[in-house]
Structure 1
Amino acid sequence: MSATTLEDPLSSHHPAAVLFDMDGTLVDSEKLWDVALQELAREYGGELSDAARRSIVGTSMADSMRILHDDLGQPERDPEASAAWINVRILELFRTGLRWRPGALALLRAVRAAGIPTALVTSSGRPLVEIALDTLGRDSFDAVVCGDEVVAAKPHPEPYLTAARLLDVPIGRCVAIEDSPTGVASALAAGAAVLAVPAEPLPSRPGVHQLESLTGADLELLAALLVDRAGATG
């Protein structure tokens, strides 16, 4: 790939922007959420099932708490009170235990070095994201969209449409990088091509390319995703 191509991020060869999910995609934070959620379940006298935990991945805090309460057979509990408990605990865990996912830092650096705009698009709230940015780098993103800053959270397309608007790029020329079915659905509904790195394989869908991790993912792959998506819809 020529140097000229690398210097022109809005060319037909590169995405107009790369939109990164956070939890489970850039950082290995799902393990920290596991700790907090199980601790809360035990505080309520129960254990969170594996099925419920999988359902929680990628959802808003309100939905996560409803899933947890229903799984414990305690639907009457206040989601806001449970969310407040989780927020205190997860902030503690994020300050000490946040780690990069394999290949994530290298890909982010490659995208930034090429001059391609980037956004962080996460279901997590702003207070938690501010702590995560100490690890991710505050200059790593041209825009940040948090779950508590949109009207409709993932799987609604609003988070990804908001990111594209903030970056002033066409969403159809963006690649979103996600790990959860909820996030993939959000990005697809918005109109982005999707690179998924799920913990478990997702059902095959047009416009979604799956990898076990971001190790080895590069600019050529991101460009190819847009070409493949254009071919599938052309």
Structure 2
Amino acid sequence: MNSPAAPAAVLWDMDGTLVDTEPYWMASETPLVESFGGTWTHEQALALVGLGLEDAARILQSAGVRMAEHAIVDHLTAEVMRQLRDEGVPFRPGAREMLLALRQAGIRTALVTMSLRRMAESVVELIDFEAFDVIIAGDDATRPKPYPDPYLQACEALGVAPESAVAFEDSPNGIRSAVASGAAVVGIPLMVSVAGAGAHATWPTLEGRTVDDVAAFHTAHRTTRGHAR
């Protein structure tokens, strides 16, 4: 029996998918809101998961943060980067191992994140192998997730068709972005449910998963889509 064909590329969200930085973002948002006399609940913080930073900044403004959008984005990014330096990069279970296995198998990879490029690059620099061929960050995207633009830009930069790629995402907005691009999408939820967001498969974690699992998922998705209509 022939082995399933591997995808041409695997596209990774960063926050919550590759690395568990969402607690760092939340720990940065709460004191910022409180410094302006407001309150910030866990539920409000969860609503920002997967949003573009400018969209998140506008929500923080509505919670009482009297700062310009770009200043909020810069402040939060600096705080999260500080925590990364102090605490280290908290990879999600199996994520580093999967990324390394994909690289060793010769499969191209892209990081597709709504975090600023300087933060994305700081995370990538802390990975002890050459992890990504391409980075598309929030300040590179023509439109943020849930629009398909970031994933389409990544595929264009890699020189692959979106239909030949697999995307890993942890948030509803990210999943909607990747699905709209045409990629086959695996939801790997963390802080929020991804039910109803349209992922083609949901894996609780990447721990124990292999390149063959990714290839089998991609082949099954293409076969199913080919039989649709």
TM-score, normalising length: structure 1: 0.88
For the 8 Å contact 1:195–1:210, the answer to whether it is kept is yes
For the 8 Å contact 1:107–1:218, the answer to whether it is kept is yes
1:42 and 2:34 correspond: yes
Aligned partner (choices 45, 52, 55) of residue 44 of structure 2: 52
Q: Deviations over 1:143-192 (max 9, x none)?
A: 11111012111111111111111111111010001111111011000000
Q: State how far apart, in whole Å, the 2-side matches of 1:147 and 1:59 are.
A: 10
Q: State how far apart, in whole Å, the 2-side matches of 1:140 and 1:116 are.
A: 11
Q: How does 1:72-87 map to 2 (within 5 A)?
A: 72=63, 74=64, 77-87=67-77
Q: 1:65 to 1:230 in 2, by over 3 A?
A: same
- What residue is the counterpart of 1:171 in the other structure? 162
Long gaps (5+) in structure 2: none
For the 8 Å contact 2:175–2:198, the answer to whether it is kept is no
Q: 1:177 to 1:100 in 2, by over 3 A?
A: same
Q: State how far apart, in whole Å, the 2-side matches of 1:201 and 1:29 are.
A: 17
Q: How does 1:119-158 map to 2 (within 5 A)?
A: 119-137=110-128, 139-158=130-149
Long gaps (5+) in structure 1: 6-11
SS in 2 for 1:148: coil
Report the AA paired with residue 32 of structure 1: Y
User: Between Structure 1 and Structure 2, how many residues are aligned?
Assistant: 224
Q: Which moved more, 1:87-96 or 1:97-106?
A: 87-96
Q: How does 1:62-211 map to 2 (within 5 A)?
A: 62-70=54-62, 72=63, 74=64, 77-97=67-87, 98-137=89-128, 139-199=130-190, 200-204=192-196, 207-211=199-203
- What residue is the counterpart of 2:19 in the other structure? 27
How big is the alpha-carbon RMSD for the aligned residues of Structure 1 and Structure 2? 2.0
Q: Which moved more, 1:149-158 or 1:86-95?
A: 86-95
Identity %: 34
Report the AA paired with residue 151 of structure 2: Y
Deviation at 1:206, TM superposition (A): 5.4
Q: Deviations over 1:34-73 (max 9, x none)?
A: 1111121111222222232122111111101112232x2x
Q: State how far apart, in whole Å, the 1-side matches of 2:131 and 2:56 are.
A: 28
Q: Which moved more, 1:129-138 or 1:57-66?
A: 129-138
Q: State how far apart, in whole Å, the 2-side matches of 1:204 and 1:83 are.
A: 29
TM-score, normalising length: structure 2: 0.90
Q: State how far apart, in whole Å, the 2-side matches of 1:125 and 1:206 are.
A: 26
Q: 1:219 to 1:132 in 2, by over 3 A?
A: same
